[in-house]
Amino acid sequence: MGRISIPKFATALAAGLAAFGVTGFAVAQGGLTANIALSGTFFKVNMSHLEGEGLSIFVDRDKMGEETIPAARLKFEHAVASNLCLSANLPDVPGIGETTFALRANGDDSVEVENLLVGATDIKGQLDLTNANVGVDASQVNDKADPGSWGLYAQKVTLSADDIRTTSVGAERLAASGVNVTVKRGSNNNGC
């Protein structure tokens, strides 16, 4: 049987804890985000209700496979959503073939996010904005926007989204309850 070298173990443990601490600090300071990007695959998001503050929207671009496409960027400084569903049809999972991934967070106010950034090509639903400004320089309200780009800003937003065709989702902090993840063979099999 081998021995554990206490000095080597302590050094490895200290390095691991330091890396974990730096990562936690970076997430807390907004240096890292929780991102969902499905390598050039569109995915669907819907929710029964969202209440948010500090909504900014601007037009940007996203890389989908070999193609660059136009996409709307929606940034919420803070939001709470109910009955969230995110699903994707993955056409070529090695050894399996076509597969459907679905993540649900069921219940009222089941998801809370800070600094949520969504890339989308289509949004269908209902929208209610408070203190909205349309046609603003998006870089004045969103540091992700290019200077001089067209944008919209609203102090508060209420959204019911029946269908959002999404390219990416990222958040500094995302907390969800009532989570259920399913992965099934076939397309639209138990998706949103």
**For the chain, domain boundaries:** 1-32, 33-185
Q: Is 164 exposed, middle or buried (0-12, 13-18, 19+ CB in 10 A)?
A: buried
For residues 79 and 113, the answer to whether their CB atoms sit within 8 Å is: yes
pLDDT of residue 138: 84
The distance from CA 174 to its chain's CA centroid, rounded to whole angstroms, is 8
Those residues whose C-beta lies under 8 Å from the C-beta of residue 59, and which sit 6 or more positions away, are 70, 71, 72, 73, 149, 150
d(CA 127, CA 62): 24
Q: Quick one: pLDDT at residue 90? A: 86
- Contact yes or no for 152/56 (Cβ under 8 A): yes
Instruction: Give CA separation, 179 vs 4, 93, 111, in Å.
Output: 40, 23, 9
35's tokens: 């991102």
Q: Per-residue pLDDT for the chain (192 aa), expressed as one digit of tens each?
A: 455 444 433 333 333 333 333 334 343 433 334 445 445 778 899 999 999 999 999 888 888 778 888 999 999 999 999 999 999 888 888 888 999 999 999 999 999 999 999 999 999 999 999 999 999 888 888 888 888 888 899 999 999 888 899 988 889 999 999 999 999 998 866 678
Residue of 98, 100, 120, 99 whose CA lies nearest to 47: 120
pLDDT of residue 154: 95
Hey, what amino acid is at 23?
A: T
